[in-house]
Structure formats: structure tokens, C-alpha cells
Amino acid sequence: MARHGDEAHHGTNLGKAMNHVNHEDARELNDDLSMLARHESWMVQYGRVYKDATEKAQRFEIFKDNARFIESFNAGGRKFWLNINQFADLSNDEFKATKTNKGFIPNKVKVPTGFRYENMSLEALPATVDWRTKGAVTPVKDQGQCGCCWAFSAVAATEGIVKISTGTLISLSEQELVDCDVHGEDQGCEGGLMDDAFKFIIKNGGLTKESSYPYSAADGKCKSGSSSAATIKSYEDVPTNDEGALMKAVASQPVSVAVDGGDMTFQFYSGGVMTGSCARELNDDLSMVARHESWMVQYGRVYKDAAEKAQRFEIFKANARFIESFNAEGRKFWLNINQFADLSNDEFKATKTNKGFISNKGKVSTRFRYENMSLDALPTTVDWRTKGAVTPVKDQGQCGCCWAFSAVAATEGIVKISTGTLISLSEQELVDCDVHGEDQGCEGGLMDDAFKFIIKNGGLTKESSYPYSAADGKCKSRSSSAATIKSYEDVPTNDEGALMKAVASQPVSVAVDGGDMTFQFYSGGVMTGSCGTDLDHGIAAIGYGTTSDGTKYWLLKNSWGTTWGENGFLRMEKDIADKKGMCGLAMEPSYPTA
């Protein structure tokens, strides 16, 4: 059995853990040592040098968050994928500050133009168009740290129509627009409009070649004597919100378009056809500030000063974006903002899961009393809540003692089954008194060792007599026992069939890999997809079933309060190809006997 509980901070524990790291990508991304190596390699690849150790540490945290977001996104089997790129050490806000227009200004006095392609038939258009194959697209350019995408867009469309009309492809100067088109909305690296760029090109008599007026990625002084290499006569707007009209235009020439490019999926897009939602609300700081304020009220969160509030807001914002992106793909389960929304994933793991995984090398196999049960004879659905064998969901708070809650839940279940009475037992007694061996209160522990303590101690007292305090305390050794167990048994490892036999007979303690962000913000549905198996969290299996679409699931009781998950409960996919089970839940199950 392994030690489970919330984030033991001992260096030796982490060192031992490294021998048991699961090599699935999701777990690797949660491994700081691996991530440090990836960051160093990335710095070399992109020539990134930081001014000091403080900046490097700050950038590493951003890099790590971005890498986790990318890995989680790609695990969903979408039609497009993300990857680490040159923006990997930029927060999404920093990315938007230089790569998209932070201030979007609608043109209130816009005058409708003609649309020359209006009468074209959609049916007559070619099925595929690629202006690159027709020599009307120059090589991809790089705007760098200057927010002048408007200039690159307008120049690309201009280069295209010049090639179509003259037969010559000329790379034109974006820098001329940045330096010289500074009246009205167009303000160089501070943003602009493509229509205003077209107006400037017309008024200026064209643009010079890029080679004559090279790009510097910064606002500069206008070189007014530059000679024109190509010009345009006018410009037209495609009818708004009409993809058919846009198709007609693009079939005829390259077209400038504006998009919501501030999302993290845009920041790290790598390939495929981008699908799903593009949520501007999540890129709107004003909206996000309001959401954070509302969340603070809901969860009674108060920060010590403005600096802490600003730090927590950035984490909240990153988590909200992760959740929105995840939910956009229509999976079998979904995430939501909860009480952990202003915690980074590392902070979450520090109190909610075990950072140090310790394998019990001296583990002795136990008998398994349900071995000879027939799987075919088991009920198709089990829910021990309906049989009165599950107490209400509890909340371990900031104490890393999930192991105690898991063991107590299984004990409460078997006591109800054997005596007919459901008693809420004391986790705090385990936290305070079971402190020999692996069990170390808020620093983590093992469910099997908890069972051993209950047997040796002659049982546990009622929760009402020894209430939970979410902190290590002094053992009240004279507490009277309210219920006990005779022994405990381990379910055969990596065998969901054996686990099904056990859960059909009683609630069972299980260990899972609960450190992923999808676990942190789980809200409902059946958790499916990739998941690590680096066991770090103890919960209780209290049933199983099948959804209306045929997805088999395990029903589990967590200890993070009722605002997490399905009122504190969780469903995870059952009978998956990996014998270890979803998030490793079949690796180390055990149960008490009475």
C-alpha cells in the first residue's frame, strides 16, 4: 500500500517518489524536475536569457502553467492541437499585449462600401482555394513584440491583389505603415485598423518594398521620401456576419479579417482545424475582475493586501481560462470554478494530494474474501448511499489527511452493514493518534495503516465526540470507541473485476492520482480520458453503474466538501483498457472487515 494524504513536504519523500514517477505525459507535466529540464531546453531553442534568477523563476512558473494547459488540452482528442512555442514563458495577458489589439475600437461612423463579388454564385466557386499555390502570398513574417498585426494583415491583402492585377509578387513594407500611418485609429505598435491602413496606402500613393523600408518591430520616425513599389485604388468591406460573402471574396483574392486571437488556444495553436468556442468573455479583464470579486464573496475569501489579491487574481484568471477551454470540447465530464479557483495546481496539490509517493516494499498479501463471487451474478448498479451506508460528504480543509477520510468512510460503511447503524466516526482521532509509521496526520498516510490503528485502538469514537479541526493535534487517548473492525483485506491489484466484487459487497478505500487540474476543478459527469497513475489521494468507492449512453463508471466519495464535484461525489470511467484503472484506482484498493 502507498501513503496517501495531502502533499508531504519531505525531501526524502520526493526523492523516493522519483523512482515511481509515472511516465504518462500528464504526470510528467506535474514533475518539477522534468519541467525544469524542458524549460532549460526551451530557453536554448529560442535564445531566451533572463536578467536574474528572480525573473527566471517567474518565467518558469508561467512556462509550467502553459505546458500543463497545453497537455490537458491535447488530451481531449480535438481536431486541432497546441504545442510549446516562442510564447511559452508569456502569460496570456503578456501575449495579448504585444500580439493582439488590447483596445478594440468599433468604427461607429463606418460607411458601407460596395461589394463587387455580390452576384457571384456560391455553387460556382471552386471547392478549394489556396492563394499560396498561385504565387499571391509572400513568406510568413514576424511582427515580434510590436502590436501591429493590423499592418501585416493589410499588407498581406495588398500584396495579394497586386500580384493578381500585375502578375508580380512584391513584399511590401509594414514598417512604413507603422511609422507613417499614425493619424486616426492607426497608432503603430499600439494597434490599428486594416481599413484605415488601406486609406493610408491610397492617400500615400502606395507602399515601398520591404527591402527598402525594413521592419524594425518598433515605432519609428516616418521616412517620407520612400518611393512607392505598388498601390491600390480603393478598398471594400465584405458584408458583415456572412461567411458566404467572405467565401466569394476569398475565392477572388486574399482578404484582411479580424479575429479574437487572444485566447490561449490561439497563443499555442500548432496544427489542425481550429474548432469549438472562442470565448471573448474570458479574455476580458473587466469581466474577469467581476467574476473574481463575486467568487471572493461566495467563498468568503479575504486577502491580506492588494499585492496578494493581484497575485490570486492572475491565478484565478488562468484557471478560469483552462476550465472554459476544457469544457468547450463536449467531453463526458466537465469542470467548474470552485473553492480552489485561486490556487495554482502546485498549491492545490500541496494540501489536497501527496507530493511524496512512498511504496510499501514490505507489504504482505492478504486474503480476498470475495474472490469466488461470480461477476455475472453481481448487480448491474450499486450505490451504498441508497442503502444508508454512507455519511454526508465531509471536508478535510487544508490538512493533508485524505487517507483518514478514506479509511473512515470504508469503516463507516462496514459498520452500517454489520450492525445496521450508520455512525459518523472521527477522522481527527486518526490524525492526532495514528502517528506511528507512515501515517503522519496532515502530512499524509496510508489507509491500510489506518485500519491497523483502528483494530489496535479498539475502534474509533464518534465524530461528534472528537470533532475534526483540520490540523494536527494532541491525541485524546481516553476517547471511548463507538465502532470497530476486526481486520482488513487488500483487493487484488490492477483488477477492476475484483474491485467490482468488493464494492458490490461494501464501500472500499481506493487511492487515485488526484493531482491533475481536471481533478482540481471536476464538477460533474464521468471522468474519462488520460490520467496519471502516480497515486497521491485517498477516496472511497461507494458504488458503480452505467450512464444512458453506455459509459460504465465508479461512484466515489471525496473529502473536499459539497461544492466540489457532484455534491462532493465523483464518477470515473470503469473497466478501461489500462488494468490499473482510471487514475490508478484499481492499483491499491482495500477494505475493513467486521
Active site residues: 402, 537, 558
In this structure, are residues 76 and 326 in contact, taking their beta carbons and an 8 Å threshold?
yes
Coil vs helix vs strand at 570: strand
* CA 320 from centre of chain: 9
Helices (H), 301-344: 306-327
Q: How far apart are CA 26 and CA 383, in angstroms?
A: 30
Cα→Cα distances 231→157, 178, 179, 192, 204, Å: 12, 17, 18, 20, 9
CA nearest to 212, candidates 177, 171, 180, 179: 171
Half-sphere exposure of 158 (CA within 13 A, CB side): 34
Cα→Cα distances 24→71, 513, 531, 563, Å: 11, 12, 8, 30
23-59 in b/e form (b: 16+ CB < 10 A) is ebebbbbbbeebbeebbeebbeeeeeeeeeeeebeeb
In the numeric block, the cell 482528442 is attached to: 77
Coil vs helix vs strand at 593: strand
189's CB contacts (< 8 A; 6+ apart) are 146, 147, 148, 178, 217, 218, 219
Cα→Cα distances 396→66, 252, 406, 441, Å: 29, 63, 11, 11
Longest dimension (CA), the chain: 96
Name the amino acid, one letter, at 139. P
User: Quick count: other Cβ atoms within 10 Å of Cβ 303?
Assistant: 14
